[in-house]
Amino acid sequence: MTQSPAKRHPWTFLPGTSPADAVYGAIVSAATIGAVGLHVETIGRLCAVWAFVVWTYWMAHVYVHVVSHHLAGQMSSVGRRLRDALRGEFGVVLGALPGLVVVLLVGLFDGEPATAASTTLLVTVVLLFGLGYFGARRLGAGLALAVGEGLLASSLGVVMIAAKALLH
């Protein structure tokens, strides 16, 4: 019996990216916003810090991709490796975007970076749960296993909330 393309490749809605990159992006985004949200005065400043950290993290992924492929003996030009890495690692940025959207939405209604930080962490827990749950369901997992996968995926978000509470 052959699996459908969706079951073989459950992340095809993010062309050229891996699910790991999207999860990394979501975690880095939430951690940045959670850590900085109580230490900045404006939503604009929070967004600027977010952009710097996400860009730096994405560039680190790109750099590692470019250098490691060359060190692994895969010969191609730097330009080609760089282009492939920029495209292939873009999932980091895509995964980070929901955090920015939450900050901007909270900024429209509340304007407080601390509220944006707390809300982003909560939304990230839900997002990570959804990624784990729906990824498992698309691969054919039953309800109990999918819920377990969702809980496992969201556990780092819960740890970030606990760390924020302890640090602030």
Query: Is residue 127 a contact partner of residue 26, using CB atoms and an 8 Å limit?
Result: yes
Query: Is residue 50 a contact partner of residue 33, using CB atoms and an 8 Å limit?
Result: yes
Distance separating alpha carbons of residues 113 and 58, to the nearest angstrom: 24
Query: Is residue 13 a contact partner of residue 95, using CB atoms and an 8 Å limit?
Result: no
Query: Is residue 29 a contact partner of residue 158, using CB atoms and an 8 Å limit?
Result: no
* HSE, side-chain direction, 13 A CA sphere, residue 161: 15
What the block records as the tokens of 121 is: 């962490």
Range from 12-21, 53-62, 139-148, 150-159 carrying the lowest mean pLDDT: 12-21
Quote the pLDDT of residue 74. Answer: 72
Distance separating alpha carbons of residues 1 and 10, to the nearest angstrom: 18
The 10s digit of each residue's pLDDT in 48-104 is 999 999 999 999 999 998 988 777 777 788 898 899 889 888 989 999 999 999 999
Does the pLDDT value for residue 138 go beyond 60? yes
Does the pLDDT value for residue 16 go beyond 70? no
The torsion of the CA quartet 58, 16, 12, 5, rounded to 10 degrees, works out to -140
Distance separating alpha carbons of residues 162 and 151, to the nearest angstrom: 16
